[in-house]
Structure 1
Amino acid sequence: MQHQQEEASPRRRSSAYLNALSLEIEKRLQRALASSSQRRNSLQELFADLALEIDDRAKDIILSREDLISSAEYSVNDRLCFYDVLANYYVRVPLRGKPILDLIVQVWSQSFASHTFALLFHKWLFEVELDHADVLLRYSSALVQGATNVLWIDIQSNARCFQSLFKYLLDEVALKPTRLNKIPVQAQRDLYLLLSRFIFFYNAVEKLESFLKLCPTFPNAILVGGPADIFVTEVADQPASKIKSGASPAALSCSD
């Protein structure tokens, strides 16, 4: 009994800490929504804070031993960010993420809204059961847009702050057909093109063969060729792509 109580106490502390973080995110999104003049800066600051590394003291509060093992799989050089643990939290407690999701939708046209959605809800989209096809279509398109913006920040700053996001989308979605098939076919294609652009940057070449084998069907395949042709075209076109992430590298304080 005493042992069970000792185990429950850290779990309660972790839950309370993550709940407090979620409430703070809600408040900051509400402030952004209320002030059009400060909206962009507020969203940029929130995004940058989500990308901060968690210090050891906070790790001790937030993570159980099992969480540490699970999170280590996607951390980079033992670097664990707030968005990593919050993304897991919103899978375990989806209702806690709903107010945040609703607020993000209300500021969607603003810079950094899609970035924040991708950081916080990339796991939720694939690991929580969503009922409506139109919801899946809307949020899967939003994820690809947000992830594109986020990963380009790493390219621009030559850092790997968001490698855990890329790694999850590659390992746990693109290479797992049961999850990939959860989203509409067009979103699958868009995700494939997105990951193609960054697979070399994030040093995931050893997974290229499996990645190509699981390439979704493209309607214009007769014209553009097979998976390898599509991949090469996407990689070759990357330097010419002028996708604006809306964030300067200086907005983030991380390094690889």
Structure 2
Amino acid sequence: MQQKEASSRSQSSAYLNALSLEIEKKLLRALASPSQRRNLLQELFADIALEVDDRAKDIILSREEDAISPAGRLCFYDVLADYYTRVPESRKPILDLIMQLWSQSFASHIFALLFHKWLFEVQLDNPDVQLRYSSALVQGATNVFWMDIQANTRCFQSLFQYLLDEVALESTRLNKIPVQAQRDLYLLLSRFIFFYNSVDKIESFVKQCPAFPNAFLVGGPADILVIELTDQLQKLKVEPVLLHYLSQIKVLRGMELRMATSTRLKTCLYSFTSPGGPMYPTRAVRHAAWDALDFLFPVGRYPRHLISLFFRLLYPWYWPSSCWNFIVSCVKAVFYSLLGLIYSRWGKPREHKSA
């Protein structure tokens, strides 16, 4: 039995070592070919972001250690990030090559995927190197998270979960990077915490917020979180993602915010409630924004709707669609009411009169 386990570990190690050598070869090719550099790095990034197929998963997960959970989506960058943390000698040549290609597109993406765990497991003595690696991580993570948003996928959720659960909420690891990098990481996670369905951890996340030098201007940790979220909302162009954010934003109710922050959030939500420029929100987005606005700011709800209706009347070209949607909504409401009435009467047991 022990011999079989040793054989499995050896097979897994050999497989991961072969993957590491392939990555090194592609980086060397990119370094030697300036004209093809961007394409080669993009291909490498795509390769390490792929999901591990069943055959490779059987080899990789056959080792005794349970550092990687087989549950859920498992990508090559997940297993390689663990591998480079455990095997230092395989990490150095790749890290050196990435640093030489640092100014190229996709270099920070690759660094963030491959070395996001290693950075928090080692102690770097040089502050400049610490800051450089930490900034690279934040930059690369930002880029790959935006890729998920543009495609409305969750390919890099494991990266986000590690940065949130194992770094931001774990002071031992968080303190291994410079304070400036800690602040940048907090801002990054604030922007994507709704997208990756981690709103249940907002309270703990806010408590771990690092100190900001301009806190007296922008407010406390909750204010910083909401400011980043409002900025993120205004940048979103993918309708399903925007609807997801608007549905999740209701969790902010009851959070203590400065008046300026509260007004900023209210203004942002209100901008999505009207058709036309500059947002051009769809009907679904407008309704979701109204729901979020009325839930978070119930005071002044009816005056807001009245003012919105008044401004809608100033644009006659919106009347036909508004009337049509109103009629359809009324017909649906009447239909479902009648259907419910019929069902309730039909479902009641008939009373038989006794003779």
Is the Cα contact below 8 Å between 1:94 and 1:124 reproduced in 2?
no
Q: Which residue of 1 aligns with 2:338?
A: none
Q: Which runs of 5+ in 1 are unaligned?
A: 243-256
Q: Which residue of 2 aligns with 1:53?
A: 51
User: What are the superposed Cα offsets for residues 201-243 of structure 1, whole Å, 9 maximum, x if unpaired?
Assistant: 000000000000010000000000000000000000114459x
Residue of structure 2 aligned with 1:225, choices 219, 222, 232: 219
Q: Which residue of 1 aligns with 2:229?
A: 235
Q: Which residue of 1 aligns with 2:39?
A: 41
Per the TM alignment, residue 7 of structure 1 is displaced from its structure 2 partner at its CA by: 1.3
Q: Which residue of 2 aligns with 1:63?
A: 61
Q: Which residue of 2 aligns with 1:151?
A: 145
Per the TM alignment, residue 66 of structure 1 is displaced from its structure 2 partner at its CA by: 4.9
Distance 2:207 2:52 in 1: 37
Per the TM alignment, residue 65 of structure 1 is displaced from its structure 2 partner at its CA by: 5.8
Aligned counterparts, 1:34-183, within 5 A? 34-64=32-62, 66-67=64-65, 69-72=66-69, 78-183=72-177
Is the Cα contact below 8 Å between 1:91 and 1:124 reproduced in 2?
yes
- What is the letter of the counterpart of residue 190 of structure 2? S
Most deviating of 127-136 and 115-124: 127-136
Is the Cα contact below 8 Å between 2:67 and 2:82 reproduced in 1?
no
Q: Which residue of 2 aligns with 1:215?
A: 209
- What is the letter of the counterpart of residue 71 of structure 1? I
Aligned counterparts, 1:188-203, within 5 A? 188-203=182-197
Per the TM alignment, residue 94 of structure 1 is displaced from its structure 2 partner at its CA by: 1.8
- What is the letter of the counterpart of residue 110 of structure 1? Q
Q: TM-score, normalised by structure 1?
A: 0.89
Q: Which residue of 2 aligns with 1:248?
A: none
Per the TM alignment, residue 157 of structure 1 is displaced from its structure 2 partner at its CA by: 0.7
Are residues 184 and 53 of structure 1, via their aligned partners in 2, closer, same or farther at CA, if it must alter by over 3 Å?
same
Is the Cα contact below 8 Å between 2:209 and 2:221 reproduced in 1?
yes
Q: Which runs of 5+ in 2 are unaligned?
A: 237-355
RMSD (CA atoms)? 1.4
Per the TM alignment, residue 56 of structure 1 is displaced from its structure 2 partner at its CA by: 1.2
Give the secondary structure class of the aligned counterpart of 2:125. coil
Per the TM alignment, residue 71 of structure 1 is displaced from its structure 2 partner at its CA by: 2.1
Is the Cα contact below 8 Å between 2:48 and 2:75 reproduced in 1?
yes
Moved over 6 A (4+): none
Q: Which residue of 2 aligns with 1:24?
A: 22
User: What are the superposed Cα offsets for residues 25-50 of structure 1, whole Å, 9 maximum, x if unpaired?
Assistant: 00000001111111101000100111
How many residues are paired up?
236
- What is the letter of the counterpart of residue 58 of structure 1? A
Give the secondary structure class of the aligned counterpart of 1:152. helix
Distance 2:64 2:169 in 1: 24
Q: Which residue of 2 aligns with 1:247?
A: none
Distance 1:207 1:66 in 2: 31
Per the TM alignment, residue 5 of structure 1 is displaced from its structure 2 partner at its CA by: 1.6
- What is the letter of the counterpart of residue 18 of structure 1? L
Q: TM-score, normalised by structure 2?
A: 0.64
